[in-house]
Structure 1
């Protein structure tokens, strides 16, 4: 694997990895905080940075069948959530291409 280039958000209201503290997303990208993961509350984001994804797999989640990929922090290589690749129910299609980050694995900085 080549050199990893980290990105950073300007401004405030930034979410960082709770283990290695690199930027993951920001408040402007957060769509919803009404999701659940294996460790409790999770957030749906339009986009994120400083992560890579695992292999695609089909999972039966609380809202039905989805094709997802693990979201893995580039700083510490910890799985912090998942990315929706495909939703099989029409009502869930809005999630495609978006990421879920579990609240347990991130913290907020510059939150004035």
Structure 2
């Protein structure tokens, strides 16, 4: 009988705190501050910082940095508001930088 394997997860690269499920990946074709990033529909075990307006590659957005709730490593950001109609789908979603997360249970 095969062993039960839990869901595929992404964890903080610093402390291995679980921060997202693989099933919540929307896209792997995003750009973060330090390289490639993934867009997630949900994130967990994170803290959301103060909102600020940022000019990103796709226009002006209101975003809030997200950090691991255990070690406080900044992992990416949450899209709070998109000002361009074509970018509205990002609202409420999370960017986690590939260099800041590691795979678990793969």
Report the TM-score range of the alignment, normalised by the length of the smaller protein: over 0.9
Per the alignment, residue 3 of structure 1 pairs with none
Q: CA deviation at 1:78?
A: 1.2
Q: What is the TM-score when the length of structure 2 is the normalising length?
A: 0.93
Q: What is the TM-score when the length of structure 1 is the normalising length?
A: 0.88
Q: CA deviation at 1:26?
A: 1.0
Q: CA deviation at 1:65?
A: 0.2
Q: CA deviation at 1:39?
A: 1.1
**Candidates 40, 45, 52, aligned match of 2:47:** 52
Per the alignment, residue 103 of structure 2 pairs with 108
Structure (1/2) with the larger strand percentage: 2
Q: CA deviation at 1:12?
A: 2.6
Per the alignment, residue 26 of structure 1 pairs with 21
Gaps of 5+ in 2: none
May I ask how many residue pairs the two structures share in their alignment?
102
Per the alignment, residue 12 of structure 2 pairs with 17
In structure 1, the residue corresponding to 2:78 is in which secondary structure? Answer: strand
In structure 2, the residue corresponding to 1:97 is in which secondary structure? Answer: coil
**Take 2:89 and 2:6, find their aligned partners in 1: how far apart are those partners?**
28
Gaps of 5+ in 1: 1-9
- What is the RMSD of the two structures over their aligned residues, measured on CA atoms? 1.0
**Take 1:83 and 1:103, find their aligned partners in 2: how far apart are those partners?**
15
**Candidates 52, 60, 74, aligned match of 1:79:** 74
Q: CA deviation at 1:53?
A: 0.7
